[in-house]
């Protein structure tokens, strides 16, 4: 017997993941749309937004940064071995290393 389906607003899901990242000190990853993923870094003050086919749009990153309550977010790009991720970091947040999906810190698979 399967559990009943529960619909959760995306804003609520990403805030929950942000809280877990902050509380547990571990990266949290969510699929937030068709071919759109987010990895929230430990501390909950920076994230990567990526697609497996193509690149994410900055407008989506801006909306997520606002939903997460990031103050003065800074936007950039991370080029991994297999894909390019849009990075969002709150101004003044501690710089923690973050790699793309299925990549080691040295960029190898």
65-96 residue pLDDT tens: 999 999 999 999 999 888 999 999 998 875 54
Q: What is the pLDDT of residue 1?
A: 72
Q: What is the DSSP string of 37-100?
A: EEEEPTTSSEEEEE-SSS---HHHHHHHHHHTT-SSEEEEEEE-SS-EEEEEEETT--------
pLDDT at 95: 53
> Which pLDDT does position 100 carry in this prediction?
41
Q: Across the strands, what pairs with 59?
A: none
Residue 54 has pLDDT above 70, yes or no: yes
pLDDT for 57 beyond 80? yes
What pLDDT sits at residue 108?
A: 34
State mean pLDDT over 34-62.
94
pLDDT of residue 94: 58
Question: What digits encode the pLDDT tens for the residues 10-44?
Answer: 999 999 999 999 999 999 999 999 999 999 999 99
pLDDT of residue 89: 95
């Amino acid at each position: 017997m399967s559990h009943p389906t529960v619909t959760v607003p995306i804003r609520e899901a990403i805030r929950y993941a942000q809280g877990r990242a902050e509380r547990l000190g571990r990266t949290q990853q969510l699929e937030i749309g068709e071919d759109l993923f987010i990895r929230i870094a430990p501390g909950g003050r920076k994230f990567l937004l990526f697609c497996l086919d193509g690149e994410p749009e900055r407008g989506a990153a801006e909306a997520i940064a606002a939903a997460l309550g990031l103050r003065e977010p800074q936007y950039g790009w991370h080029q991994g071995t297999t894909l390019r991720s849009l990075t969002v970091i709150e101004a003044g947040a501690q710089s923690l290393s973050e790699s793309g999906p299925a990549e080691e810190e040295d960029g190898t698979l």
